[in-house]
């Protein structure tokens, strides 16, 4: 069951591609970006292999998001 949001603070669109993610903050004009996985040879010791990306999505908390 999905919760209904009557007045969301922000709308986020996420699209998964084969090797990267595309994100779009729909409430703002031209605010979209791609997020690519960090190659294994460029990982730092605190990065997670196949999970960490170069541009992370920022999501606000304690508010309604669609």
Give the span between the Cα atoms of 23 and 1, in whole angstroms.
Answer: 24
- The better pLDDT of the pair 6, 65 is held by 65
Q: What pLDDT, on the 0 to 100 scale, is given for residue 13? A: 92
Q: What pLDDT, on the 0 to 100 scale, is given for residue 63? A: 85
Given a cut of 80, is residue 3 above it in pLDDT? no
Given a cut of 50, is residue 1 above it in pLDDT? no
Give the span between the Cα atoms of 13 and 28, in whole angstroms.
Answer: 12
Expressed as residue numbers, the domain containing 17 is: 1-66
Using alpha carbons only, give the angle 56, 58, 63 rounded to the nearest 5 degrees.
Answer: 160
How many domains does the chain contain in total? 1
pLDDT digit string, tens, across residues 7-60: 888 889 999 998 899 999 888 778 899 999 888 888 888 777 767 788 888 888
């Amino acid at each position: 069951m999905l919760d209904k949001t009557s007045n969301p603070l922000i709308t986020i669109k996420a699209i998964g591609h084969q090797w990267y993610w595309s994100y779009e903050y729909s409430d703002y004009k031209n605010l979209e970006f791609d997020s690519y996985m960090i190659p294994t040879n460029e990982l730092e010791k605190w990065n997670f292999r196949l999970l960490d990306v170069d541009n992370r999505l920022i999501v606000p908390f304690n508010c309604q998001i669609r």
